[in-house]
Amino acid sequence: MTTRDAGRISRARGGDGRRAPVHRADLRIEAWGPTREACFAEAVRALVDSFVRRTLPVPASTVSYEVIGAGDAALLVSVLGEVITRIRRRNEVPVVTEVTATPGGVLLRCEVLDTGAVLSSGVLPKGISRPRARIGPTENGWFCSVRVDV
């Protein structure tokens, strides 16, 4: 079974999931979940999985922050963009992420590690391509796809 087939099977059954198909100049992340917020959380996890080995120590601290956006696709870009900014500027790598809806966007509660505590297995992302961000409901929940500049 290929990664693509596994993703289709998981989405067909419902539940959470994610995958990061390989592309030459950038990274494309796909994620899904039973709710929009679960889909956002899986997208964050897929982003982190793209450059961090998953054998990680216990998170050092918890941070919370609100992200706003006009529409679901813009909110997806803002969520992932904020995560990238926090990784690059504050050295905070989210290893567990919970997402809750707010009136203007979403609240992220992340258990984080310092970047020095994780082993890199890939290139640190630089940004998100707005025109390539897609998110929406499906028959089994929510699905999103976004291109990440590396």
pLDDT tens, 7-65? Answer: 444 455 566 776 655 555 688 999 999 999 999 999 999 999 888 877 777 888 999 99
Q: What is the pLDDT of residue 57?
A: 77
Q: Is the separation of the CB atoms in 41 and 48 below 8 Å? A: no
Domain count, the chain: 1
Q: What is the pLDDT of residue 14?
A: 61
DSSP letters, 78-97, are HHHHHHHHHHHHH-EEEEEE
**Looking at per-residue confidence, does 100 or 9 come out higher?**
100
Query: 3 pLDDT exceeds 50?
Result: no
Q: What is the CATH number of the domain that holds 87?
A: 3.55.10.10
**Looking at per-residue confidence, does 141 or 122 come out higher?**
141
Q: Is 77 left (phi over 0), alpha (psi -120 to 50) or beta?
A: alpha
Share of the chain above pLDDT 70, in %: 83
Average pLDDT value for the chain: 85
Share of the chain above pLDDT 90, in %: 57
Across the range 74-90, mean pLDDT stands at 95
Q: What is the pLDDT of residue 11?
A: 52
Note down the domain range covering 102. 3-149
- What is the spatial distance between Cα 83 and Cα 43, in angstroms, rounded to a whole number? 11
Paired residues of 47 in beta bridges: none
Q: What is the pTM of this model?
A: 0.82
- What is the spatial distance between Cα 120 and Cα 65, in angstroms, rounded to a whole number? 25
Across the range 71-75, mean pLDDT stands at 95
- What is the spatial distance between Cα 78 and Cα 127, in angstroms, rounded to a whole number? 10
